[in-house]
Structures are given as C-alpha cells and as structure tokens.
Structure 1
Amino acid sequence: MTTTTPQKKVVVFDYGFGNVRSAERALARVGADVEITRDYDKAMNADGLLVPGVGAFSACMDGLKKARGEWIIDRRLSGGRPVMGICVGMQILFARGIEHGVETEGLDEWPGTVGPLQAPVVPHMGWNTVEAPADSRLFAGVDDAARFYFVHSYAVHEWGLEVTNPAMRAPQVTWAEHGERFVAAVENGALWATQFHPEKSGDAGAQLLTNWIETL
C-alpha cells in the first residue's frame, strides 16, 4: 500500500501590505498547500505562517494590528509554531523602525532598530549575494554565489540578541552589503525571516522556501 505525505498547510497573512500572490505561487511551486487569508483561526492553525511586507514600516504595523497580526505572531511563537517574515515583514519583527525621523514600535521579537540604508544608491534594488553561516538551515543546499532579489531603503545594521544558555541554539544571522553591511536573514527557533524576496529569487529562493517548509 502506498502512502503519501500530506502537504504542509501554509497561510500567507493578508493584512494589506505584501506581494501575497507572488508568495502564494512560490510556496505552491515547492509543494505547500497555500491559502491567502487574514482569518485568525486559519492563521493560528496552519503549519506555517508567512508574513510579507511592502511599503513603510509604520503603515505595515498599522495594518498588522488592524488584522490582529501581532497577537497571531506572538501566540504562534509562544507555542513554537513556525513564522517567516519577508522584507518589511522581517523589519517589523524588530523593536522599532525609524523613517523620516519618525520612530514606530515594532513587534520586538528581536532587539534592534530598522534605519535608513546608507549607500550611494538607494533603494537597494536588484540582485545581491549574502554571507550565510556555515550551519544555516535556511540556506542549506544553496550555492555560496547564489544571488537574491532585494528591494529596500531601510535595514537593520546591528544584531543585538545573544544566547548565553549553551542548551539553546544561537540565532543564525545572514548578512549582505550595499554601501554598508546589514542583516539579510535570521533563523531563530520557530521565527525565520529574510530582508530579500525569496519568492522573486528564482531557484535559490525556491530552495530557501523548501528548507523552511521541511521544518514545519
């Protein structure tokens, strides 16, 4: 008798700020059962929750709160349920964002401030390489020379979370450079995130999404 492994259920959280259709197609391409919704129960009960984000930090936070997204993310993570943020969906996971001199509180899952990217050309738009840790699970099977697609004018420039308990796995932080070094991706327990768009990054991005789905 032949048995098949059930598809992992992934919800792309639709709070009004993100390329939800691109994310849906990319996840379906790598074998996930995908639904775009802001429904609380569906977002809570999915195997994985993907939080996209496009636009201003403050606007994304407002939209997320109106959809009760901050509660969903916090409750999922409290129960060890996987969440992945993309682009501004990664930025809002940090403590605060500063845009045009205005400071907005983020979700504070990680300490740190999202600030203007200091580079000759902004926004940072296009393909770039990254520096991933050797034992990264997110980048497993991805060539070191692989390029990923970025579109952003703000970034996190310092990583401030340290793990002192030897029984806990330290966060895996991936870096990229455009005028200055910035955080390009984070793997921290059930919470993963990328500043770049894996759903727009071809085969390399598809491998990343496959790696995430395999942890669900």
Structure 2
Amino acid sequence: MIGIVNYGAGNIFSLTAALDRIGVTYGMVHTAADFERYDRIIIPGVGHAGAAMGKLADTGLVDTILALKKPVLGICVGMQLLSSFSEEGNADLLQLLPLKTLHFTGRITEKVPHMGWNSVSLQNNSPLFDGIADNSYFYFVHSYFIEFDDKYTAAVCQYGLPFSAAVQQGNFFGVQFHPEKSGLAGEQLLQNFASL
C-alpha cells in the first residue's frame, strides 16, 4: 500500500484518482508513525519548492523521510525536494541528490514554464520505466528543473537543454512530469512503483 505525504503542497486529488484507476490502494501520511503503515511512499508537490520545503519541515517529517529504506517517489516539486538546493526561494532541500534545482529563465530561449507533453529518453535501466517505451511522452508543467547528471538520471528530457525528467538514488525516485496526468505511460509508471 502507498502512503502519500500530505503536507499541504501537493495536488492530492489527481494523484489519488490515478491510483484509483489502476487499483492501487493508498492512504495519507500525516505523522512519523504513519510511515509504518505503508510499503511505499509518494511525496507529491506543486508550486514553489522553497515554500514546499518549509511546509515539509513544519510537519516534522523530514528526518523520518531521510531515514526511509522503503521505495519513495517524489513527483514534480516532490522530485525537486530530493535535490540539494533550489534557486526557487534560494532554499536548501532534502539533499538526497547532490544536484541543484535551477530556473529555466536565462538558460533557454524557449517559453517558460515548460508546459505540455514531451518525450523522455530512458537512462540507467530504472525499474520505474519497465514496460514503457523509450521516448514515451509525459505531461510536464514546471519552470525549474534538476540539472542533468548521468549518475542519477533515470530519464532525460530536452527543452532548450537536457534536464533530468526522472532521477534515482538508492530507494529514492523522482519524476519531474506528472504521471497521474500522463495517460497510459504514466499509469504504467505508477503501477511499476507500486510493484517495487
């Protein structure tokens, strides 16, 4: 069963609707004790990374998250929280990845935010992408991105520059796109995570 960290910075409804569609059971994590009830954890997130980190810190759950040994998936801002630092709010984040979250503006000529469907190129044989074809399309909405690094990147996307569309570090996974809004490929990814 999946536990969704409900810290006030995520679009919980669309995520739970997607989990309902694929028949995956879930519940909400509000306290450190709640983590024990679930086999896998999702950290959703929309909006401002610095503010999201502040909300997460306010819950008192940060140390428990850092100590987790079960699979953890960060979605969108939830993925960015796994990085060391974000230019959004000049905030220190969870520091599970030695990578920075940077703003597209000033680095690309394309329109910001990066919004809509884009293809991702698979790297490093992540189990998140089992049964998903290389260059499948996923739905993105973001103005900030995690810098690309071969070692931690499970999938790369191109939007003016290459950036990490998905990352993996041990039992921590992250996707910049919204699998809950990405049709069959997104549902397959959520099913893969539920099966880890």
Q: Do structure 1's residue 57 and structure 2's residue 52 form an aligned pair? A: no
Indicate whether 1:42 and 2:34 are aligned: yes
Letter of the structure 1 residue corresponding to residue 32 of structure 2: Y
Shift of 1:208: 0.3
Q: Deviations over 1:1-52 (max 9, x none)?
A: xxxxxxxx11111100011111112123222211134132122431111000
Q: Does 1:181 align with 2:162?
A: yes
Aligned partner letter, 1:110: L
Larger CA Rg, structure 1 vs 2: 1
Mapping for residues 145-160 of structure 1, pairs under 5 Å: 145-159=135-149
Residue identity in the other structure for 1:87: C
Deviation at 1:204, TM superposition (A): 0.4
Q: Which of 21, 35, 41 is the aligned partner of 1:29?
A: 21
* Percent identity between the two aligned chains: 37
- Unaligned 5+ runs, structure 2: none
Per-residue CA deviations over 1:86-130 (Å, capped at 9, x if unaligned) read 00000011110012xx42101000101111113320000100000
Residues 86 and 92 of structure 2 are in contact (CA less than 8 Å); yes or no, is this contact kept in structure 1? yes
Structure 2 residue matching 1:89: 3-state secondary structure: helix
Instruction: Tell me the TM-score normalized by structure 1.
Output: 0.84
Moved over 3 A (4+): none
2-side partners of 1:92 and 1:145: how far apart? 25
Q: Provide the secondary structure at the position in 1 that maps to 2:120.
A: coil
TM-score under structure 2 normalisation? 0.92
Distance 1:44 1:58 in 2: 27
Match of 2:95 in 1: 108
Residue equivalent to 1:144? 134
**1:79-90 map, 5 Å:** 80-90=69-79
Contact 1:139–1:208 (CA<8 Å) still a contact in 2? yes
Aligned with 2:166: secondary structure? strand
Structure 2 matches for 1:119-130, cutoff 5 A?
119=108, 120-130=110-120
31-40 or 120-129: bigger deviation:
31-40
SS at match of 2:117: strand
SS in 2 for 1:212: helix
Distance 1:48 1:136 in 2: 16
**Unpaired stretches in structure 1, ≥5 consecutive residues:** 1-8, 163-170
Contact kept in structure 2, 1:20 and 1:36, CA below 8 Å: no
